[in-house]
Amino acid sequence: MGCENSSNRASTDKKYSKILFLMLIEHLTNSTPRDLPLHAESIFPAVDSENKKEFLAVLESRKNELKPSQVKRLRKLSRSLEAKQLKSESIISVCLL
């Protein structure tokens, strides 16, 4: 199963999300610097509030291996993750009202 398929499965099926996310993080940790931004973007759908810190920690630890343009892609992804987090928090607060 590819990175994107696993990510989609992890984001929709909580039964498999923890196991698949660990596999995705391992894949991200071991991927070549050239492919890191692409794989990070593919894994993005599986990132939630529970595993966000681990995802960002891997990206941060690999940052020194990347070109400036690749770091820029990761920063953009990080901002998207914050927006995703804020959106889900606002939906929860609306549902609680």
pLDDT recorded at residue 94: 47
The total domain count for the chain is: 1
pLDDT recorded at residue 65: 96
**14-30 vs 36-43: helix axis angle to the nearest 10?**
170
Please give the residue that has the higher pLDDT: either 86 or 1: 86
At 93, is the pLDDT very low, low, confident or very high (cuts 50, 70, 90)? very low
- Cβ pair 81, 56 in contact under 8 A: yes
C-alpha to C-alpha distance for 84 and 88, rounded to whole angstroms: 6
Q: pTM (2 decimals)?
A: 0.79
Domain that holds residue 12: 3-96
Tell the residue number behind the tokens 């892609």, with chain if given: 73
